[in-house]
Amino acid sequence: MVENVKKALHVGISVSNMEVSLEWYEKNLGFKLLKDDGFVPPLGAKICFIGKDGFELELFEYKEPKPIPEERKTPNTDLQTIGTKHVAFMTDDMKALKEGFVANGVDIAHEVTMGAEAVMFVRDPDGVLIEFIQK
């Protein structure tokens, strides 16, 4: 076992419009802007870090982004594609969470109960899947 790997720092998500995504993640998930790196020439992208409860997302906005493939927008077909899948968050009240999402016009992709766990997937403004679990 490699012992010098420490805690997870962040998950990176490419977005088509930084301002729209910053607003969406704050309004719907409570993430706050932590750091705006602006345009980073070596990457050719704008970069912002947002956070909530010690967890961070790194958002990238490229001048000419490539849209997410359609099969990546549906949880069951996305799981069949090799690679990173989604970010998952815990909730203690799925019903209230869903009501808030519906009120905000959030795209709910999938809902299922697996044993004693309620699971819901939503899509961010670019179709990126985000999972919520109530145990």
**pLDDT value of residue 3:** 84
- Domain's final residue, options 66, 94, 113: 66
Give the mean pLDDT of 117-131. 97
**pLDDT value of residue 31:** 98
pLDDT surpasses 80 at 123:
yes
pLDDT surpasses 90 at 37:
yes
**Are 73 and 135 members of one domain?**
yes
- Whichever domain contains 82, its CATH number is 3.30.720.110
pLDDT in tens, 56-113: 999 999 999 999 999 999 999 999 999 999 999 999 999 999 999 999 999 999 999 9
**Are 62 and 86 members of one domain?**
no
Reported confidence tier of residue 49, pLDDT bands at 50, 70, 90: very high
**Are 101 and 125 members of one domain?**
yes
CA distance 44 to 42: 6
Number of structural domains, the chain? Answer: 2
- Domain's final residue, options 17, 32, 66: 66
**pLDDT value of residue 4:** 86
What pTM was computed for the model?
A: 0.93
- Domain range for 3: 1-66
Phi/psi of residue 56, each to 5°? -120, 150
Give the mean pLDDT of 13-39. 98
Phi/psi of residue 80, each to 5°? -80, -15
**Are 49 and 91 members of one domain?**
no
- Whichever domain contains 52, its CATH number is 3.10.180.10
**Are 58 and 100 members of one domain?**
no
The mean predicted confidence, pLDDT, of the chain is 95
CA distance 22 to 60: 11
